[in-house]
Structure 1
Amino acid sequence: MNVHSPLVIDLADSLRYRQACDASTQRVFAALTQRDLIQAWWRGTVRGLGTIGGQLQLCLEGTRPGIVVEVTQAADGAVDWLVTDDRGHDGEWRDTVIRFRVRPCGGTGSIIDFEHEGLTPAAACYETCVWAWQGFLGQLAEVAEGPVKAP
Structure 2
Amino acid sequence: MIENNNMAFRLVVNKPPQETFRAINEVRKWWSDDFSGSSSQLGDEFEVRFVDVHYSKQKLAELLPGQKIEWLITDSHLSFLEQKNEWTGTKVVFSLSAEGDHTVISFTHEGLTPQSECYTDCYGGWRQYLLHSLVPYINTGKGNPNVPESAIEEKTARP
Q: 2:104 aligns with which of 92, 106, 111?
A: 111
Provide Cα deviations, 1:122-151, integer angstroms capped at 9, x if missing partner.
222110111111112112111111223574
Percent of residue pairs identical? 23
Output the amino acid matched with 1:53: G
Q: Where in structure 2 are there 5+ consecutive unaligned residues?
A: 146-159
- RMSD of aligned C-alpha atoms? 1.9
Q: Pairwise mapping of residues 75-90 of structure 1 onto structure 2 (< 5 A)?
A: 75-76=64-65, 77-88=67-78, 90=84
| Count of matched residue positions in the alignment of Structure 1 and Structure 2 | 138
1:127 maps to what in 2?
120
- CA 39–64 in structure 1, closer or farther in 2 if over 3 Å, else same: farther
Larger radius of gyration: 2
The whole-number CA distance in structure 1 between the counterparts of 2:75 and 2:7 is: 19
- What is the TM-score of this pair, normalised by structure 2? 0.78
Q: Where in structure 1 are there 5+ consecutive unaligned residues?
A: 1-8
- What is the TM-score of this pair, normalised by structure 1? 0.82
| Superposed structure 1 runs of 4+ greater than 6 Å apart | none
Q: Pairwise mapping of residues 2-151 of structure 1 onto structure 2 (< 5 A)?
A: 9-11=1-3, 13-33=5-25, 37-50=26-39, 51-60=41-50, 65-76=54-65, 77-88=67-78, 90-107=84-101, 109-138=102-131, 139-149=133-143, 151=145
- CA 150–112 in structure 1, closer or farther in 2 if over 3 Å, else same: closer
SS at match of 2:86: coil
Provide Cα deviations, 1:22-47, integer angstroms capped at 9, x if missing partner.
122122101122xxx31121034121
